[in-house]
Amino acid sequence: MDHASQLLSRLLRFSAATRLYRLEIAGQPEDRFLVEAWAAVESLHAVGATELIVLSLDTEVAARPLLGSLATLNSRLAEGGVCRSTGLIHEVAKLGGDGGFGRYRLRMAPWPWLLSQASTSRVWQDKTLIEVVEDVFREFPQHADWHWSADALAYLARVPPRSYTVQYRQTHLDFISRLLAGEGLSWRIEEHAPSPQGHRLVIFADSTARSAFPEDPTSAAHDGIRFQGARELDQQDGVQALAACRSLQAASCTLLSYDYRNKQAITASIPTHHDFGGRDAPRLESYDSAGPVTDDKDAADRHARLMMEAAEARNKRWLGRSTVRSLRAGARFSLKQGPLAGKEQEYAVLAVLSVGFNNLPADTQAALAELFGPLPILLEDALHACLKVATVGEIQAPDRSLIDLARRMGHAKLFEAIRADIVWRPVLGDGTGLTRRPHAMAQGSQSAIVVGYQGETEANGPDEICCDRLGRIRIRFHWQGRHEDAAATCWVRVGQRCAGPGMGMQFLPRIGQEVLVQFLDNDLERPIVLAALYNGRGEGGEPPTPGGEVKFSAKTQVFQSASDTAASGQGNLAGGHAPTWHGASADLDGHRNPAAQWGIRSKEFGGWGYNQLLFDDSDQRGRVQLKTTQAGSELTLGHLVHSADNYRGSFRGTGVELRTDAYGVIRAGRGLLFSSYQVTHRADHRDPAGDNTGQRAMVRQAAQINKTFGEAARTHRTVGMTKGLDALKQAISAQAGIAQQDLPATSKPLIQIAAKEGLGVVAGQHLQMANGASVSLIAGQDAQHVSGQQFRLRTQQAIGVLAGATAAGDKELGLQMIAAQRDIDVQAQAGSLTVQARDRLQVVSANAGVSWAAARKITLATAGGASIVIDGGNITVLCPGELTVHAGQTLLDGPVQHLVQLPVLPRTAVDIKKLDLDLRTQDVPGPHGLALPNTPWRIVAAESGQQALAATDKQLHGHSDGQGKIILSEADQQALLSAYNAQPGQLWLVYLDHVQNIDIARHDPSWNDMQKHMHALNAMGYSDDYAQVADRGLNTGTLDLASKETGKARGTPLLKQLKE
């Protein structure tokens, strides 16, 4: 029998039931594999790994059916019990095969190993940590099983939901590890028979709690584990070596966070209560920025305490060697008879490195080594492989002594532990060392799409903006949406080029826009929007040439249809957002724009209207345009051209253009200057902005002309000139000091228009000039006022016309007034009309007669004393010399009366603030008239007495009292005054069949006695018009009758009596 056959026969006599280790694989025969040796690494907050070296009678074991299978390693304990270690087989390798059996390597790991093999990118919004973690675990329903310890649930009950959580290009394992470590939580693997894979992941918060770290079965069964040597005949496994390891840690942890919403810094500093070093050891501080997680002082204190506890847990650790087969990471044990004399210390195990040899006969082991190679070398490789998978703190790759101990005892372990009364916190590595504040890291920037409140990427009509009161927006990254997280986003601030209190720029990206996102401290959970991006594909331009390969020809024809009033080639074939200005068409047949135009353009919500600031940097054709489509309003400076989006159109001029289709206002509180006088504007010299030398010279000239004609007006006794020009001359000549510099500026808020050559003011309909003081129109030579229809000149006081002040005009004329059609009507409605001439006064009627009429008297007189007086009904001829009558026939008949209709002159409004009228209802005027008591009366507006009788629109109405007086209240008097000034002379008092005109006249000191008498009689009701009674002149008889009735023969005492 050969050597291989002898080995095979020996192995067949030893079933797995009699061995120290037994392997079970789901779906495989019970004794298909025999464990030869194994190595394992297990740690808190890590997956761990187990490598099994097994033997099989099948030399061609198929690897694929084994992958993903549940494997259970059963280890027989010293007291006869069994401890189990389960996992998923995820790697199978054949190490050799000969003589009818083979050696294989199987690698297995607990189900969280699956988390390390799957990665994704997703977002959670306003979710608790438990919801986020379980959301990930649910993606593995056939394998995952987990448990939150009681201490973890109690701790998380005080932790608020996470506003924004990001997993980006991370494996599920890295994400969960980071998430839990950030809150001071950790996890361990626990064997659990009801679980789908025979074990479960236990998440804990307080390692000092029994719910977090249960006691090791061996320690629980024997009230602790003995500190003893390794002897094959010992009835109990023990700890063979225990050494303390101290390291200098930070003695205080300080966190700083900035709350931009409340504009305050939030700090927390927690010192340690441990003694980290000797007397001369420095007290180190760990100072870190906590990012956005510290919204308040309590949160800052909590995270600082977690950091301090992580440092304290690493201050003193214990490294040990043991043969306790049940010892696992996440268990506690009591050490009896340990190196600390008189103390029974309890320890919490953080990591374990294990090696096991099955109890095969010695000669069999030797034969296997001869056939397949030495086993210790394979175990060393297995341990190194396992250490790459799981980080186990201070435990390094062991030397051959651990393997030798395991070969002798069947089992050996290296472990790391801390005192069980010290809280352990996980600390992750980020490639540069350990970090106590793990974040979702991202290098560089990303782009995202702006979304609405419900995650929509397209605006609903005018609802294009989605922001909060801080101007923050919502975004969705391109990698979102696979996990139903398309609407999950936080409020993201938008970086502005300038931002300050009441100042800065404001740009809010709109729904559907693509934006560039950066991350504060490279933390994905702290995004900030930096800019907006154009995207899509334009209609024309140069085609893409990947690798220099030209697949499409250039499309330029779409740009050729643009014109001064129509754009072209501005569409986006991909439905994206293309720029308004671009350089895709620089040729003259296209847009004529070699990327020279750029600027800022906004857009109205849900419409096409926009506002823009455009800069055109074309060579020697610079242009700046401020424009809005609202009413076509724009201001353009520089080289003026037509433009339609990117198209640069035809030339329109140079300079400045300000236009609008609506209403325009230019307002300057301290004055405004419009001038066509050019000032120096060179690089070496520039005149002040307010320089107005040309206008000041013209105003001085106008003021001198005004002064000259003012003196002429005084000489010729006409209305003098105003002094408004002198005030204007003083105002524009004054120098207003600006920042201690004597710069030209008006001392009063004036609007100045200075035209070097000419000024044209044209109105298609009306042109008005109005002010509160004076208007001076002065021409150095000629002035013309031409009207196509009527010319009206109105003044509140006097009109002065002076002609020929220095010389006669054309044809030796001074003042010429001609009515080419119809009449000339000259009236003095409130005084005298005087016509004077130094030489001859001639009144000629070419086709009719000349009529002179007066209410009382007409006098024709000469300087020699002769006169003809027509007074009332008499004519008196007076002459100091001879009276000569030349007539072909002279007739002297009886008296004949020729009545003359005198003009009725209109009244004007009266300038009084209070009215006190004494109105009566009586049968006839005068003191002997009988009162009409209790008579209904009304005051109406009408153009004549006849119309007043029929008028129904009453201004006031009522009944007279018992004495016939009309009683008016103060409000009635004020209403009557307002009505009179609105239509002077057209108010009438109507009662029974009496109609009296209401005429209000103010006493003029220049009245003579007769004028006073007539005004008084008019006020007493003898007449409805001045100097008339019942359409007849106030002749001497009427005056005598009135004088007898009133008892006053003169006007002055009569008027005084009326006032009294």
Instruction: Give me the DSSP letters along 101-156.
Output: EEEEEEEEE-TTHHHHH-EEEEEEEEE-HHHHHHHHHTT-TTT--EEE-HHHHHHH
Query: For residues 679 and 756, is the Cβ–Cβ distance under 8 A?
Result: no
CA 330 centroid distance within chain: 54
User: Which of the four pLDDT bands, split at 50, 70 and 90, describes residue 78?
Assistant: confident
- In 865-987, alpha helices (H): 945-950, 970-982
Lowest mean pLDDT among 112-121, 480-489, 931-940: 480-489
d(CA 152, CA 305): 16
The mean predicted confidence, pLDDT, of the chain is: 84
The mean pLDDT of 336-354, rounded to a whole number, is 83
- What is the phi/psi pair of residue 40, to 5°? -145, 150
- Is the separation of the CB atoms in 416 and 317 below 8 Å? yes
| Most trustworthy range by pLDDT among 18-22, 201-205, 374-378, 872-876 | 201-205
Q: Are 941 and 953 in contact (CB under 8 A)?
A: yes
Strand partners, 794: none
Reported as a pLDDT band with limits 50, 70 and 90, residue 522 is confident
Choice between 112 and 871, residue whose per-residue pLDDT is larger: 112
* Residue predicted with more confidence, 745 or 871: 871
Q: Which two tokens stand for residue 547?
A: 């690798």
C-alpha distances out from residue 269 to 131, 281, 302, Å: 30, 20, 10
22-48 mean pLDDT: 91
Residue 1027's pLDDT band (cuts 50, 70, 90): very low
pLDDT band at 342 (very low <50, low <70, confident <90, very high): low
Question: What average pLDDT does this structure show over 320-326?
Answer: 93
CATH 3.40.50.300, applies to 446-533: no
Confidence at 738, pLDDT banded by 50, 70, 90: very low
- DSSP string of 756-770, one letter each residue: SS------SS-----
From 75-79, 164-168, 646-650, 709-713, the region with the lowest mean pLDDT: 709-713
Pick the CATH number of 3-112+357-392 from 2.30.110, 2.60.40, 2.60.120, 1.10.3470: 2.30.110
What are the strands, taking DSSP E only, across 841-948? Answer: 857-861, 867-871, 874-878, 919-920, 936-941
Pairing of strands 446-451, 514-519: antiparallel
What whole-number distance in Å separates Cα of residue 79 and Cα of residue 217? 11
Residue 1029: pLDDT over 50:
no
Model pTM score: 0.70
Q: What's the average model confidence in pLDDT over 398-409?
A: 85
- What is the residue-wise DSSP string for 179-236? HHHHTT-EEEEEE-TTSTTSEEEEEES-TTSTTTSPBPHHHHHTTSEEB----TT-SS
Q: How far apart are CA 783 and CA 777, in angstroms?
A: 9
d(CA 80, CA 716): 145
What is the pLDDT, as a whole number, of residue 254?
A: 87
Over 80: is that where the pLDDT of 1055 sits?
Answer: no
Q: E strands, 739-811, where? A: 741-744, 751-754
| Closest among 609, 611, 610, 639 to 624, alpha carbons compared | 639
**Farthest CA pair distance, the chain:** 195
Could you tell me the pLDDT band of residue 784, with boundaries at 50, 70 and 90?
confident
